[in-house]
Amino acid sequence: MTFKELCESRYSVRGYTAEAVSPDQLAYILECARLAPSAVNRQPWHFHVVSSAEGRAALQSCYDRPWFRTAPLYIVCCIRHGQAWVRPADGKGHGDIDIAIATEHICLAAAEQGLGTCWVCNFDARRCCELLHLPENEEPAVLIPLGHPDPAAHKAKQRKAIEEIVTRR
């Protein structure tokens, strides 16, 4: 599969089968996240894998949607503030950018493995911090449900035409 084919095949999965993610698949996906680039190679991230029944039920209280409950595991992608590079010229921190790159590595690696994911950013971050007992400098940025896609839940993705998103100068 070419990279373009991988990008075309990946979509936001909002429904999963009960089949477990194999330990080898999870290890592969996490290794891909570890290899993601970051500003000045600071790697200001931490990933919490939540797969126990109790942990999943607790995390579901942060984002209570029926489809979300179908995922067999979640990866909570966190920014470790104070570790991210800050651009000196204007003080812009790059933690949000770095975690987005690493998170998309997770999503693309999962798609390559035949698994599905969905970026979930609309969740109760404060509750998530409490449930995971996160240190003060660690912010949960994205919840990634991970599992085998339920074909019945698939919806085709829509994308703007290239002319709508590119300006050539």
User: Is residue 69 pLDDT above 90, yes or no?
Assistant: yes
- Answer yes or no: is 139 within a domain: yes
Provide the residue range defining the domain that includes 28.
12-153
Q: What is the rounded CA–CA span in Å between residue 81 and residue 76?
A: 15
Total tally of structural domains belonging to the chain: 1
- Answer yes or no: is 1 within a domain: no
Decide: helix, strand or coil at residue 133.
Answer: coil
Q: Helices (H), strands (E): how many in the chain?
A: 6, 4
- Answer yes or no: is 49 within a domain: yes
Report the predicted TM-score, pTM, of the whole model to 2 decimal places.
Answer: 0.95
Please tell me what DSSP assigns to residue 45. Answer: E
- Answer yes or no: is 168 within a domain: no
Contact (CB, 8 A) for 51 and 73: yes
- Answer yes or no: is 166 within a domain: no
Q: CATH no. for residue 75? A: 3.40.109.10
- Answer yes or no: is 67 within a domain: yes
pLDDT of residue 155: 82
Contact (CB, 8 A) for 1 and 9: yes
Phi and psi, residue 73, nearest 5°: -160, 165
**pLDDT per residue over 24-51, tens digit each?**
999 999 999 999 999 999 999 999 999 9
Confidence of residue 154 (pLDDT cuts 50, 70, 90): confident
